[in-house]
Structure 1
Amino acid sequence: MSSRKRSAKGINDAVKFFVDATTRQKFKGNEELLWALECIEETSLKTGLSPDHITALVDVAASGIQVETVCKRIIKALIPQSVVPEKAALSVISWLCTRKPSINIQCLLLRWLLVIYEYIDTRDDLHAMYGVLFHFLHYRIMTPYICHLLYLLTRKEDVKLFRVRFLIQYQKDMGPQAFLTGLLSIYRHYYPSLVHVVNTRSYKSFFPSYDRKWSATVRQVREQNGLSPTVDMSWEKALLERLHPTGQAIDLMPSRKRRKIDPIPVIHSLTSKTNYKRDTLAHSLGIRTVPFILIHSFKDVLDNLDSIEFPSQIGAVLRSDTLKHVMSYTKDHIAEARFQFWVAETLQEELVDTLKQKNKERATTLLRLLKLFSDFLQEGIPAVDIVMSEYLQTWNGQHFKHVIFKLISRFRLYSFSTLNRAVLEPLRKLFFTSSIYFKCQVIMCLTDLLRNHTANEWPRSLEVNDTDSGLCLFSKVSEEFSSIDGIVSFVTFVSKMILVACVSDSHNALFELCVLDFLDLVSNLHKEYHLPFVVLVEPRLLERLLISSHPMTVSRVCSVMCRYKENFNMVKAAQKSGDIEVVQNREEIKMIRSCNQLIIDFCNTLWRFKAFTSTDKGSIFYWYREETDKENFDDSPVEENLSLFRHPALLPYTIRYVYKTQLEPGIKFADLKNMKRDFLNYLDHNHFTGLSQFIASFIRNKTPSLTTTQVMGISQTMSASRHDSSAFGF
């Protein structure tokens, strides 16, 4: 006889020994009983027990024929070879009703059901015993295991009002218990209206696993037999499938594992596709609602445009593209308020209240999804602005850096004092104490914020009622302020902050590139975003960029001046045609004069070879000098050091130009002054087109000398026809 047959005969004889026993036998000194018991334990650890053996041994252990020690060892040895027949689980429930097994054996049998629950072949008949199991809640020693088993078996039709009342009263009598809260939580998933208060945050786990070693042994035996650790799906996955019959649950990930890395709730609804019943009374009155869980495509959205019911977990908006579309056009103020409340509470808990931030994946996931939703709406979320302004006060500039910058760029349009307190001041402190790369990121963030204000928030600020206009989802900012003053003050603050950084980080190419992107946007606000005004940045900032050591910076700052001219002229034309309101303003006159002065200084520096002046105190290159030194200064080439040919940034190209044109070795610098136009063409060939664009805009051909009247800038006569007086306040 082979070893396999002997082993099979041994386990069959051992099981038969217990099945045939009709009376209780002695445990001590009974060698046959010990042999049978050890044979069952050894076989279960090696290959597991067959379904027939498990069914037979369940009856033996629950009948109470053997002593309690033997029954416990038999139950511990009920390790399945493949699956557990549902008949064995039903036998356990039946024996519980007879009260023949002791209370300890009853608890151990329930624990065994929880260990092998996911390996039961079918569960329909077991679910039919739901009411019987609910009755066992009266036995307090069994309550934790019964609650856990009911939690796994609960379906929508099992949630009854009398059961909810019983559990709530039971919880009042026993005090807060995790297992009762867990069972109430699954009831609340199906009927939030029946269960209002369930504290799900106080417990890491409703049902702690007391039999981890036992469960690990079962999985190990199955793996030795070449089977997967689970039959088809874990009980948690099956639970999620019951909650989401349409397949909208995220990856069907086990709920406890998902909550550790993902704070966004999955989409729940009171209705599933199979049990949806139309409310005939509401339908007859013209009130028709369709649960979102029945919406599967964009066509379904269009067909039910005004009757879609939002899910019970409003935070699930962040994970569904279809639900984002529904949210973007809804006029349901309750849904908006629910979403804002959820965002504020969740973000506060994950970002601000969590001091050590042990699990940064959760906060990162939440911030990333909020950023995607804001980009989808092209609108900032007020709740995010409030929490973010609090978090920025203690932000170290490193945690969640990239996504926080993106969320800052979506801030709504507030008064400058509010924006300065919430965003600008915290960023300013980090700006001046961080590396040049962080400074570049701050400037890029503030540039995007200005673009968002002018492209999206400015049109909304012109609407009397935002929510009725359809331009935004969330309600209008409650504080009253001038949008023009807010934008102008913001530009002034950023330009002054940049100016200080330009002095401390002299001529950094990367930083200047980011600054020029900001200036490009500011100088073109009217043309690109139709703002009825033009904002001039700090003049000293333009001066600092003009003397940069990088030729591209010099070229682009000249292009900025050309765009200022173009936008000023467009504003003037719009004022004459009546498209923009005309308002006189002294500060605006000051700004126009500053712009004209900048144009003159640029022309004198680059084209006339006379950068510095001791007579015009309004010039950016004014300096005081004694009369005795005036003649010596006039004879020196100091004023020519920033000219088109001798500028530090352009000097290498001057040398190449001289070499390329093959001029005589003894040529003097004065002879190059007659070749300025050709040199500009040479710079254009090297992609520095800003200089020639500037000269073409502001210098007339064949002009022997340059005066103020010959600068084709913005005439100060515009001061008599000004727009909003607050537009140019510095």
Structure 2
Amino acid sequence: MTTLDDENTGNLGPLLDDLESAAPRLSRFILASKVPAKRRQVVIKSTVERTTALLYQRGAIPDELARLVDLVTVRNYLDQASLSALIRNLYPATKVDNDAIFKVVGALGHGQLKPALPLQSLLLRWLVMVYHLLENPGILTQAYGTSAVPSPSADNTTLALSRQTGNDPPLTGLLRVFKNYYPEIIVGKATKGRASAFKHPDLQWRERLDEIQHQHHETRDNGGSRNGFSVNHALSQKMGAKPSLLPAVYTQHAHEDSVTLEEIDGPDTFVENLDKIELPTQLVAVLADPLLQKLLLLRPDSESFSRISNWVTACMGDVASGDGDLSLLLDIVDVVHDYTASTKVLPPLLLSFFSFLFSVWNGSDKRDVVLETLSFAPLMDFDKLYKSIFEPFEASVLDNAAESQTSLLKFYTLLLQRWTTIMQAAEDLDTLPGGAVTQLVTHVNKLTLTLSQTSPTTATYLTILDFYECSAAILAKPNLLQHVEITTPPALLVYIMHFSPSLIVVSRLCGLLAIYKRAFEALRAPLPTSQSRGLTQHENEQINTLNSFLMDICNCLWRGRAFATSDVNSQGCLIPQSLVPVLVRYLGRIDSKLSLGSVFGVSHSPVLSLRTISYIRELEDGEQEVIRDRHAGPVTQHSLGQLAHRGGLQISWQEYRSGLLRYLETKGFTGIPELMYNTMKNLMKARHQ
């Protein structure tokens, strides 16, 4: 009899002994399953319950599975409820061998020794659910012709039943399968009309099976971490919070000269046999198996990716026909996300999946996962990509809220980063559509300008700058600049961020404009090692716009001429000139000594005044001689002269401003000094002296 210790250690053997043999007083050769219930000296119900519980917990290894299959496939005296419970919990922990399959198939049909028809139904259902674990799936094809069920008769019966029921969709679907085997029987319009797709009999059962398979293989591997050079036999990668429904890697048609992925156990054997490795039977396993991913990356094959695409297309067909729901598509997104995160590639063949997803997606479920996965979209013509993928994506995500706009902007930033990496890694940039980058920036310009007004916060401005800094990073690389046209941010956006209350925003904006200025200058003259492509017509049109940015910002920060329009290219920060007198009068009421032109300079600016007085305090604290008077601030050329006469810090106006730029650099605000050094001629010379 079984003991508590047997069950705690997961030992199925004694329980199977109890099922097969009678009470200890009887001969062990007399099977309980062959002894009528009234003659048994033990109650078998509790044994069945403990057996099914243990099967549900850890499954059956091959020897145990063989004994259980023997038990449920031959008519015996165990009651039908007990046998049904055993079949429903017949979870194999490993592959299912040919003997077990032959016994189950042989148990189907009519005959005195066959199991009852309800049990046969459960056995057939079990075959469907463990098909992906068969050691040799082709064994079912071999058994089809030898089955006790006459195949042509079954086809004719199904055909007649279909005609009687008026082309019932499930029967039509079954006839389409039969047609592959007996086309001479299934002819005419029998398979026309709507057909019902075949669903998995029990998804919860399959999920538990996957968990058991994974636990078994993890135990076999002693819990060791994978190095990426062995097959992931139990795909427990995530599909939502559930185990994966993807098939594991299995190679069915291997030959003597080939090597299967299942035989690879390390990087050495993988490299040595790279050309000999046979592709597995179900290539869709690549979406979750790192070793198969490596193989297809090193040996790309268009047919292989077509097969993967067909699997995804079939899943989309299930949803379109009503046999699946959005959760199935989101589960696939999880799998595709893991694949793209590992390979850094989203195959173009899978783009159709996202096009379909966005037609039914609510724009919020797993948004971050969808966003990151789609950011691996290939570098291709932006207009085509936008029409087929990004436009429906935007329609799903955008909901007139700033949060959705920010999510969309972060997506495009990530996409631009991926494309930059692709361009940097390319051996021949001429083969890449560099114009797609320009089109992307032009498209995002509208989004950033809208976002700056719907959510005028520092966080928003920083997110916007993230995108444009990615764009500027391309322009800062001479080889990439020769293949990407410069596109500046919208003028209104630049001025909005220039008057941001955040110093880091202003600093990053100035640094960004300095990169644009250098990029335009680089295109005006031949490069040292190759001929510059020169400026395009569009770029020539943008030069005046960029010069306006530079002049207006320098007028505000450095020249004491805020909102001036008399200088060449100056636009007065796009402030209406009718507003200037109003601002002057307002400022006069606050402090008659202040001028509108200087209040946005480095000393008076709301974002810089604290830094400037802190700089002066550091200079005063570092003086060797006694300081009799400290500067009260804000600093002006006149106040510095008066301070020196009163025994305070002695520093010229020019020294103060040059030192302030160096001080800002030490504090991490490098953008403003970078712009001034690249724009103001006197500072250009001073920096190189």
TM-score by length of 1: 0.63
Q: Name the residue aligned to 1:563.
A: 515
Q: Distance in 1 between matches of 2:303 and 2:65?
A: 49
| 1:501 and 2:451 matched | yes
Q: Name the residue aligned to 2:667.
A: 686
How far is the alpha carbon of 1:492 from its aligned partner?
1.9
How far is the alpha carbon of 1:511 from its aligned partner?
1.9
**351 and 552 in structure 1: CA distance in 2 versus 1, 3 angstrom threshold:** farther
Q: Name the residue aligned to 1:514.
A: 463
Q: Name the residue aligned to 2:296.
A: 327
Which moved further from structure 2: 585-594 or 371-380?
371-380
| 1:595 and 2:546 matched | yes
Letter in 2 for 1:404: V
| 1:316 and 2:285 matched | yes
**646 and 48 in structure 1: CA distance in 2 versus 1, 3 angstrom threshold:** farther
Q: Name the residue aligned to 2:244.
A: 262
Q: How does 1:96-115 map to 2 (within 5 A)?
A: 111=84, 114=87
Q: Distance in 1 between matches of 2:539 and 2:428?
A: 22
* 311, 332, 351: which one aligns with 1:342: 311
Q: Name the residue aligned to 2:418.
A: 452
Q: Distance in 2 between matches of 1:631 and 1:247?
A: 72
**247 and 644 in structure 1: CA distance in 2 versus 1, 3 angstrom threshold:** closer
User: What secondary structure is seen at the aligned counterpart in 2 of 1:530?
Assistant: helix
| 1:671 and 2:638 matched | yes
Q: Distance in 1 between matches of 2:91 and 2:25?
A: 15
Q: How does 1:700-715 map to 2 (within 5 A)?
A: 700-701=681-682
User: What secondary structure is seen at the aligned counterpart in 1 of 2:246?
Assistant: coil
**92 and 678 in structure 1: CA distance in 2 versus 1, 3 angstrom threshold:** closer
User: What secondary structure is seen at the aligned counterpart in 2 of 1:159?
Assistant: helix
**487 and 112 in structure 1: CA distance in 2 versus 1, 3 angstrom threshold:** closer
Alpha carbons 1:317, 1:323 under 8 Å: kept: yes
* 119, 136, 139: which one aligns with 1:159: 139
Alpha carbons 1:432, 1:501 under 8 Å: kept: no
Higher normalized contact order (CA 8 Å, seq sep 6+, divided by chain length): 1
Alpha carbons 2:264, 2:270 under 8 Å: kept: yes
Q: How does 1:418-429 map to 2 (within 5 A)?
A: 418-421=384-387, 422-423=389-390, 426-427=393-394
**638 and 368 in structure 1: CA distance in 2 versus 1, 3 angstrom threshold:** same
Q: Distance in 1 between matches of 2:576 and 2:458?
A: 31
**656 and 304 in structure 1: CA distance in 2 versus 1, 3 angstrom threshold:** closer
How far is the alpha carbon of 1:557 from its aligned partner?
1.2
* 198, 201, 205: which one aligns with 1:204: 201
**407 and 347 in structure 1: CA distance in 2 versus 1, 3 angstrom threshold:** farther
- What RMSD over aligned residues (CA atoms) do the two structures have, in Å? 5.6
Percent identity of equivalent pairs: 16
**261 and 573 in structure 1: CA distance in 2 versus 1, 3 angstrom threshold:** same
How far is the alpha carbon of 1:91 from its aligned partner?
9.3
Letter in 2 for 1:594: T
Could you give the per-residue CA deviations for residues 331-358 of structure 1, whole angstroms, max 9, x where no partner exists? 432112112222343467579978864x
**296 and 106 in structure 1: CA distance in 2 versus 1, 3 angstrom threshold:** same
Structure 2 unaligned blocks of 5 or more: 2-17, 52-63, 162-169, 184-190, 222-228, 589-593, 621-628, 641-652
Q: Distance in 2 between matches of 1:667 and 1:618?
A: 27
**683 and 308 in structure 1: CA distance in 2 versus 1, 3 angstrom threshold:** same
Q: Distance in 2 between matches of 1:426 and 1:305?
A: 39
Q: Distance in 2 between matches of 1:263 and 1:312?
A: 16
Q: Distance in 1 between matches of 2:663 and 2:65?
A: 89
Q: Distance in 2 between matches of 1:419 and 1:390?
A: 14
Q: Distance in 2 between matches of 1:277 and 1:632?
A: 89
Q: Distance in 2 between matches of 1:258 and 1:552?
A: 39
How far is the alpha carbon of 1:298 from its aligned partner?
2.4
Alpha carbons 1:543, 1:620 under 8 Å: kept: no
| 1:401 and 2:353 matched | no
Alpha carbons 1:555, 1:689 under 8 Å: kept: yes
Alpha carbons 2:260, 2:279 under 8 Å: kept: yes
User: What secondary structure is seen at the aligned counterpart in 2 of 1:300?
Assistant: helix
Alpha carbons 2:557, 2:601 under 8 Å: kept: yes
How far is the alpha carbon of 1:503 from its aligned partner?
2.3
User: What secondary structure is seen at the aligned counterpart in 2 of 1:645?
Assistant: coil
Q: How does 1:472-491 map to 2 (within 5 A)?
A: 483-491=433-441
**426 and 609 in structure 1: CA distance in 2 versus 1, 3 angstrom threshold:** farther
**238 and 545 in structure 1: CA distance in 2 versus 1, 3 angstrom threshold:** closer
Letter in 2 for 1:611: A
| 1:540 and 2:540 matched | no
Which moved further from structure 2: 664-673 or 650-659?
664-673
| 1:369 and 2:340 matched | no
How far is the alpha carbon of 1:111 from its aligned partner?
5.0
**374 and 517 in structure 1: CA distance in 2 versus 1, 3 angstrom threshold:** same
Alpha carbons 1:72, 1:108 under 8 Å: kept: no
User: What secondary structure is seen at the aligned counterpart in 2 of 1:202?
Assistant: coil
User: What secondary structure is seen at the aligned counterpart in 2 of 1:642?
Assistant: coil
Q: Distance in 2 between matches of 1:560 and 1:129?
A: 68
Q: Name the residue aligned to 2:109.
A: 137
Q: How does 1:229-248 map to 2 (within 5 A)?
A: 248=231
Alpha carbons 1:314, 1:338 under 8 Å: kept: yes
Structure 1 unaligned blocks of 5 or more: 5-43, 63-68, 210-232, 279-287, 467-481, 704-709, 713-730
Q: Distance in 2 between matches of 1:435 and 1:631?
A: 31
Q: Distance in 1 between matches of 2:337 and 2:603?
A: 48
Q: Name the residue aligned to 1:643.
A: 601
Q: Name the residue aligned to 2:5.
A: none
Could you give the per-residue CA deviations for residues 28-59 of structure 1, whole angstroms, max 9, x where no partner exists? xxxxxxxxxxxxxxxx99x9944946854647
| 1:292 and 2:248 matched | no
Which moved further from structure 2: 540-549 or 482-491?
482-491
Q: Name the residue aligned to 1:229.
A: none
Q: Distance in 2 between matches of 1:144 and 1:250?
A: 33
Q: Name the residue aligned to 1:721.
A: none
How far is the alpha carbon of 1:554 from its aligned partner?
1.1
Q: Which has the larger radius of gyration?
A: 1
**450 and 631 in structure 1: CA distance in 2 versus 1, 3 angstrom threshold:** closer
User: What secondary structure is seen at the aligned counterpart in 1 of 2:630?
Assistant: coil
* 555, 566, 572: which one aligns with 1:604: 555
**412 and 57 in structure 1: CA distance in 2 versus 1, 3 angstrom threshold:** closer
User: What secondary structure is seen at the aligned counterpart in 1 of 2:444?
Assistant: helix
Q: Distance in 2 between matches of 1:407 and 1:342?
A: 18
How far is the alpha carbon of 1:569 from its aligned partner?
3.4
TM-score by length of 2: 0.66
Q: Distance in 1 between matches of 2:497 and 2:679?
A: 19
How far is the alpha carbon of 1:423 from its aligned partner?
1.6
Letter in 1 for 2:443: F
Letter in 2 for 1:138: H
Could you give the per-residue CA deviations for residues 62-89 of structure 1, whole angstroms, max 9, x where no partner exists? 6xxxxxx958999965947999999999
Could you give the per-residue CA deviations for residues 199-238 of structure 1, whole angstroms, max 9, x where no partner exists? 98424249999xxxxxxxxxxxxxxxxxxxxxxx999859
Q: Distance in 2 between matches of 1:676 and 1:489?
A: 40
Q: Distance in 2 between matches of 1:419 and 1:562?
A: 31
Letter in 2 for 1:603: C
User: What secondary structure is seen at the aligned counterpart in 2 of 1:571?
Assistant: helix
How far is the alpha carbon of 1:375 from its aligned partner?
3.5
Alpha carbons 2:514, 2:678 under 8 Å: kept: yes
| 1:411 and 2:377 matched | yes
Q: Name the residue aligned to 1:214.
A: none
How far is the alpha carbon of 1:653 from its aligned partner?
2.6
Could you give the per-residue CA deviations for residues 390-449 of structure 1, whole angstroms, max 9, x where no partner exists? 43355444211221111121112343333433325743784572344x544432221111
How far is the alpha carbon of 1:621 from its aligned partner?
1.9
* 534, 551, 558: which one aligns with 2:503: 551
Q: Distance in 2 between matches of 1:572 and 1:619?
A: 24
Q: Distance in 1 between matches of 2:583 and 2:423?
A: 56
How far is the alpha carbon of 1:607 from its aligned partner?
0.6
Q: Distance in 2 between matches of 1:410 and 1:700?
A: 43
